[in-house]
Amino acid sequence: MSFLEKYNKGQTLLIDKDLDWTSFDVVKKLKNVIKCKKVGHAGTLDPLATGLLIICTGKNTKKINDIQNLNKEYTGEFILGKTTPSHDLETEFNKTYDITEITEEKIKNLSFNFLGEQLQRPPKFSAVKINGKRAYEYARQNENIEIKEKKINILRFEISKINFPNISFKITCTKGTYIRSIARDFGKKLGCGAVLSKLRRTMIGNYDVHNALRINILVQNLKKEKIENY
């Protein structure tokens, strides 16, 4: 079987996405190397996030919807006492709050309140479609639009470290959950604001980032494989 036949038949590749890469950047890079018509990712990862990105090629692109429906695990960090319009560091801080009354006990107790099925409002700086346009397009034009809440389920929310104003966490959640929205709502309920400062996707279902390759290493391996198959 030739290199192209192998990837047209279908492969599932695990990428440990680097910071500042978009999911589309990764797909485009791999498409240029593999030369396969069908290459797609199974779940977007924001440019400011790192970690597991699953790429499917050829006939395996039929599996994308099933993979997207799997639960996700993330680790990351919130900054307390500040807010931004995007709820992460993509935009500038716009408000600052006093956090002297915030205790570790309050933080840990609040995390339990986020567990279970609930309605969550996606961020206005998101790819959610409203009347044919992405929400972030309205946000960048300072247009106020109503974003409908969506049902999600947070299966695990563990506060792993507190080093004020930073709190580290691990979250397991269902498809469609925005960790930036969790940061926003967590800060709101604490009464001091919060933004997402770090995010890493560690698992999608049973797919583990420990089995993933950085894009530069994967590309090197693919080029070597391509040469060996000629």
CA separation, residue 19 to residues 51, 192, 225 (Å): 9, 28, 26
Residue 167, phi-psi category: left (phi > 0), alpha (psi -120 to 50), beta (remainder):
beta
How many C-beta atoms lie closer than 10 Å to residue 203's C-beta? 18
Do 111 and 118 form a contact (C-beta atoms < 8 A)? no
Beta-strand runs (E) in 131-206: 133-134, 150-163, 166-173, 194-204
The C-alpha atoms of residue 38 and residue 132 are separated, in whole angstroms, by 25
Which residues are marked as active site? 46
